[in-house]
Amino acid sequence: MERLSREKVKPLAEQYGETDEVPQEIIDAMKEAGIFRILFPEQYGGDGVSAVKLCIAREALSRFSVVADVTLAMQGLGGYPIVVAGDKEQKEKYLPLLAGGDLLSTYALTEPGAGSDVASMESTAVKDGDCYILNGTKRFISNGFRADMGVVFAKTDRDRGNRGISAFIYTKGMEGLSIRKRIKLMALHDLVELQFTDCRVPATNMLGAENGGFKTAMQTLDLLRMSVGASALGTARAALDLAVRFSLRRKTFGNPISSYQGVSFKLADMATELDAARLLVYRAADLMDKGAGRVTKESSMAKYYATEMAGRVVDMAVQIHGGIGVTRGMDVERLFREARAPRVYEGTTEIQKMVIANLILREAKEREGDQQS
Ligand SMILES: Cc1cc2nc3c(=O)[nH]c(=O)nc-3n(C[C@H](O)[C@H](O)[C@H](O)COP(=O)(O)OP(=O)(O)OC[C@H]3O[C@@H](n4cnc5c(N)ncnc54)[C@H](O)[C@@H]3O)c2cc1C
């Protein structure tokens, strides 16, 4: 993985520079390495779903290319709902192509009025014969321009909050679906808005049971959230490497800045925080691979801590670089911009804390209940 990232992906990322396209050559390198297979069961052309392998891959890729990293993540976000909720036909039709990287996927949950508060989504899907008619706007959809298909969530029962949401597979080119490239992020990212206007989606594209979409969405996030933490590890590691190198070379007052405690203690903090985050990420991934069931709390902890850690570490790396660190075109400046969005997407830091706190309190109440009975 390290070799693929360093020898294939890194030169391509440098060649393409700051474009928010997803270059086909990067996808081809990832396909050739069979990287998408780690997200899918063997029965459907994968190597078996492995959270640990996904985290290792994202940690390696994000050091050199946010585009490659996000592409792998989106393949999981769009593909894993089919793994957990798809029927046999859906799995046979889509999973082998996703595992081979011959189809690219995305995940469309967020709306202009519904990010953290998923239940307030306004997109609707109304049954009409053998189709559902979808209407609504999905915002901030990663790789949405490049993706061939995706999973979209809409209300099939407007009065039931989270329990009225269903998941559907959509494909690019469906009549009534328009893809608008209107959002420009501070860092590299193919980010679009999807507009569904009387879009007829075959009923056979519904994933899982009607009104069961929220559970599918959250099960998918259990796997992918910890991997956002892994991606943050790669970003932080790249920043630490740059800071160490720079601190050994740069001299002030006749000495390398690494000889000053004010700098070297920053390096110590960065390395320690990075390792602490790494332990959280791989604990969550290991638990998932061992079949521990839902690992929501551990995954949220890993995502929350690792992405916040990357923000702090990259900031320290910029500081160690002094003036040149805030100069456009420097790797450390790019990392500073790249480290920001992961603290927001797939659930903000505040939402992760809510999830963790709710689960801790629920466990405590259950323990109290057990003692009383
Ligand atoms: C780069 C990028 C890529 C993305 N990719 C995708 C994608 O592929 N698919 C997709 O569906 N979505 C995607 N998103 C959307 C992302 O998941 C949402 O932006 C995120 O969940 C936050 O939602 P919001 O922007 O509506 O903010 P809001 O929910 O409006 O939150 C605004 C602020 O209020 C805080 N807040 C909200 N509620 C509470 C509360 N109860 N307690 C405390 N604080 C609270 C939040 O933490 C945040 O700081 C992406 C976003 C970005 C930036």
Beta bridge pairs of residue 168: 152, 206
Which tokens go with 50? 């492995």
- pLDDT reported for residue 9: 83
- pLDDT reported for residue 18: 73
Phi and psi at residue 94, to the nearest 5°: -105, -40
Give the chain's mean pLDDT.
95
Residue 41 sits at the vertex; the CA angle it makes with 36 and 46, to the nearest 5 degrees, is: 35
> In this predicted structure, which of 9-18, 157-166, 285-294, 298-307 has the lowest mean pLDDT?
9-18
Question: Could you give the C-alpha distances from 47 to 21, 54, 93, 307, in angstroms and in order?
Answer: 28, 11, 17, 28
pLDDT in tens, 53-111: 999 999 999 998 999 999 999 999 999 999 999 999 999 999 999 999 999 999 999 99
How confident is residue 313, by pLDDT bands cut at 50, 70 and 90?
very high
CA 65, distance to chain mean position in Å, is: 14
Rounded distance from Cα 89 to ligand 1 centre (Å):
33
Closest ligand 1 atom, residue 185 Cα: 1
Closest ligand 1 atom, residue 109 Cα: 11
Q: Is 351 in the pocket of ligand 1 (CB under 6 A)?
A: yes
Q: Is 345 in the pocket of ligand 1 (CB under 6 A)?
A: yes
Q: Is 341 in the pocket of ligand 1 (CB under 6 A)?
A: yes
- Start-end of H helices in the chain: 2-3, 10-16, 24-32, 51-62, 66-85, 88-100, 213-249, 261-289, 296-321, 331-338, 349-372
Phi and psi at residue 16, to the nearest 5°: -85, -20
Which tokens go with 66? 């946010």
How confident is residue 292, by pLDDT bands cut at 50, 70 and 90?
confident
Q: Sketch out the chain's domains with CATH numbers.
A: 2-103 (1.10.540.10), 106-211 (2.40.110.10), 215-365 (1.20.140.10)
Specify whether 14 is catalytic: no
Is residue 369 scored above 90 in pLDDT? Answer: no
How confident is residue 48, by pLDDT bands cut at 50, 70 and 90?
very high
Question: From the candidates 111, 298, 333, 346, which is the catalytic residue?
Answer: 346
Contact 310, 302 (CB under 8 A): no
Up-side HSE of residue 19: CA atoms within 13 Å toward CB? 12
Closest ligand 1 atom, residue 142 Cα: 8
pLDDT in tens, 208-244: 999 999 999 999 999 999 999 999 999 999 999 999 9
pLDDT in tens, 134-146: 999 999 999 999 9
CA-derived radius of gyration, the chain: 21
Is residue 367 scored above 80 in pLDDT? Answer: yes
Q: Residue 76: count other Cβ atoms within 10 Å of its Cβ.
A: 25
What is the pTM for the complete model shown? 0.95
Q: Residue 348: count other Cβ atoms within 10 Å of its Cβ.
A: 15
Report CA dihedral (71, 72, 78, 81) to the nearest 10 degrees. -170
Question: Could you give the C-alpha distances from 92 to 47, 76, 345, in angstroms and in order?
Answer: 15, 16, 30
Contact 39, 75 (CB under 8 A): yes
Rounded distance from Cα 230 to ligand 1 centre (Å):
19
- pLDDT reported for residue 95: 98
- What percent of the chain has pLDDT above 70? 100
DSSP string across 205-217: GEESSTT-HHHHH
Residue 148 DSSP code: S
Rounded distance from Cα 248 to ligand 1 centre (Å):
39
Rounded distance from Cα 68 to ligand 1 centre (Å):
22
